[in-house]
Structure 1
Amino acid sequence: MRAWVDLEGAVNVRDLGGLPLEGGGATAPGVLLRSDNLQGLSPGDVSQLVDDLGVRVVVDLRTGEEVRLEGPGPLAHEERVEIRHRSLYPEKGKLTDVLISKADGENPAVQYYLRYLADRPDSVVGALEDIADGPGPVLVHCAAGKDRTGVVVAMALAAVGVERQAIIDDYVATEERIVEIMARLRASPTYAPDLAGVTDESRKPRPEFLGRVLEVLDERDGGPVGWLASHGFDPAPLRSRLVEGRGL
């Protein structure tokens, strides 16, 4: 069963515990959460995340321009939470990267996901180190909680040995909330200009998008683990937190 976290001011929040590992076992609950934009969190939401769930680190994958326009969000005012900005810039569209442009060769979404890895490996690796080193549950988010968050979370899950189909299924789960996500983005002056004429259907996560990214990493780098190793990432600390029975 999907571990959704129901909040008033964010609609794509879930705990990544309970995902099956290759060879048996599962990821630990209460270690890694993923989310869409946190700008609209209510005081009750902040209390739920910080007091009830124990979130202590937020990895913000938004661009610097998004943070400037939207603000850091209510959790930035919570002294028990540290915000770590890990932009996957460069962005597309006028102000943000919620619009994925056309590209030659691979599907545009696949191209864009691969660019995150090519252009900002420091942010991808840094985000995984944040998860590994977090003093409590770590929440990773961007605007929709789908593309940038999807790639970073997929790399984290692959690094600890989550079954590939489970990684893809988690990515696709955002489809269940895509209508609500798009409504929130269209209501924001930051994102609305880039989404003019963009349909909800076109923004659904497709399993073949992330699946192809993982295939490309298999072909070029020996898989996500090989890519991470080539950028100096040691998965052992992440495994010690995120594998059930060895986490918090």
Structure 2
Amino acid sequence: MTSTRTGRWVRLDGTTNTRDLGGLPTTDGGTTVPGRILRSDNLQTLSEDDVRRLVGEIGLREVIDLRTTAEILLEGRGPLRDVDEVTHRHFSLLPERGHHTDVFAVEESDPADLPEGWLESLLPRQVAEHDEGEPPAVRSYLGYLGQRADNVVAALRALTATDEGASVVHCAAGKDRTGVVCALALAVAGVGHDDIVADYAMTAEVIDALVAKLAASPTYAEDMVSRDVTSHTPRAATMDRVLRLLDERYGGPTGWLETHGFGADEQARLRSRLRE
């Protein structure tokens, strides 16, 4: 059988940016454990073989979906939604109008009929005055933390809900929203600043294929073709800056988490997901 793994990458037919958070060094000389938490781009186009590999070989049991309600309804039901063993949880990192907190119930009740107004469902994000001088990507990431701290914490909390099997965190590209949540998870696990930044920047290795994949979807095509590939490419300096700002303002990512209600006990449970 051909291995689906190349280093930390998990090679699948239907994704281009799936990798394991295991195998990263920690500041105390340890290593994060493979097969516990994965990060990925959109899972809508997984093949039957992908589903078999994820569920049967890797042991996937939980999907943490960071997309907006509009994205989920526009993209439609993905193949993992038909797998009873896999629990889906939704935590949008962008402000939204409406009260459809159970997006998957909406999806199942009338998946073919997108409610009127969902395309305009995103609220304008406010930029804190002290962040106005930051680069656009840094401002966006700080916006997730500033305006949807509840769902950032909820996504991390969901990763502690099971002790068995693997979880996957994903958005559309698996680089921005996913990058912020995974950076916090790795910080809790004890992975150092430079290795967190390097994990974030790995998406640049597959950016051409990733942009091509998203451009094939009507949901994302306009954004993909209206800008060049370089503008979509994650830069190490972006995550480096976000982490340094968290250091300055909160004493680090774990300090931000403590400030927002994700304290020592929950951090210990999350750490145990990525550490022996």
Structure 1 length-normalised TM: 0.92
Could you say if the C-alpha distance between residues 43 and 207 of structure 1 is closer, same or farther in structure 2, counting changes exceeding 3 Å? Answer: same
Q: Which residue of 2 aligns with 1:28?
A: 33
The unaligned stretches of length 5 or more in structure 1 are none
Could you tell me which of 3, 17, 26 is aligned with 1:12?
17
Q: Distance in 1 between matches of 2:272 and 2:189?
A: 9
CA distance in 1, matches of 2:178, 2:189: 17
Structure 2 match to 1:235: 267
Equivalent residue for 2:72? 67
What is the root-mean-square deviation of aligned Cα atoms in Å?
1.9
SS at match of 1:235: helix
Distance 1:195 1:42 in 2: 23
Distance of aligned partners of 1:173 and 1:48 in 2 relative to their CA distance in 1, 3 Å threshold: same
Task: State the partner residue of 1:39.
Answer: 44
Give 1:73 deviation, angstroms: 1.2
Using the alignment, how far apart are the partners of 1:136 and 1:156 within structure 2? 17
Q: What CA distance in whole angstroms lies between the structure 2 residues aligned with 1:61 and 1:96? A: 15
What residue in structure 1 maps to residue 254 of structure 2?
225
CA distance in 1, matches of 2:167, 2:73: 23
Given that 1:96 and 1:191 are in contact with CA atoms closer than 8 Å, whether structure 2 keeps it comes out as: no
Aligned to 2:169: 140
What is the one-letter code of the residue matched to 2:142? L
Aligned to 2:58: 53
Q: Which residue number corresponds to residue 112 of structure 2?
A: none
Q: Which of the residues 103, 107, 111 maps onto 2:135?
A: 107
Once residues 141 and 30 of structure 2 are traced to their aligned partners in structure 1, the CA distance between those partners, rounded to angstroms, is 29
CA distance in 1, matches of 2:235, 2:9: 20
Q: 1:96 to 1:35 in 2, by over 3 A?
A: farther
Output the amino acid matched with 1:121. Answer: A
User: What SS does the aligned partner of 2:39 have?
Assistant: strand
Q: Is the 8 A contact 1:66 1:96 kept in 2?
A: no
Inter-partner Cα distance in structure 1 for 2:16 and 2:191: 25
Q: Which of these residues, 198, 201, 210, is aligned with residue 169 of structure 1?
A: 198
Aligned-partner Cα distance in 1 for 2:173–2:225: 16
Give CA deviations for 1:118-172 in whole Å, capped at 9, x if unaligned. Answer: 1111111111112222232100000000000000000000112101111010000
Counterpart CA distance in 1 for 2:121 and 2:44 is: 15
Q: Please name the residue that 2:186 is paired with.
A: 157
Are 1:34 and 1:140, in contact at CA under 8 Å, matched by a contact in 2? yes
Instruction: Note if 1:125 corresponds to 2:153.
Output: yes
The share of aligned pairs that are identical, in percent, is 53
CA deviation after TM superposition for structure 1 residue 95, in Å = 6.4
TM-score by length of 2: 0.83
- AA matched with 1:124: V
Name the CA distance, whole Å, in 1 between partners of 2:120 and 2:186.
30
Residue 241 of structure 2: aligned partner: 212
Farther-moved stretch of structure 1 (193-202 vs 8-17): 193-202
Structure 2 unaligned residues grouped into runs of 5+:
1-5, 97-118
